[in-house]
Amino acid sequence: MRTADLIEGLIVERLGTGDASHLILLVSVRRALNTTPFKGDLSSAVASALRRLVDVGSILHDDGIYSLGS
Domain 3-68 sits in CATH at: 1.10.10.10
Query: For residue 34, what pLDDT is reported?
Result: 85
Task: Report yes or no on whether pTM surpasses 0.85.
Answer: yes
Query: For residue 1, what pLDDT is reported?
Result: 58
Specify whether the CB–CB gap between 23 and 34 falls below 8 A.
no
Query: For residue 38, what pLDDT is reported?
Result: 77
List b or e across 32-55, with b for residues whose CB sees 16 or more CB atoms inside 10 angstroms. bbeeeeeeeeeeebbeebbeebee
User: Which residue ranges make up each domain of the chain?
Assistant: 3-68
pLDDT tens digits for 13-55? 999 999 999 999 999 999 998 877 778 889 999 999 999 999 9
Query: For residue 35, what pLDDT is reported?
Result: 73
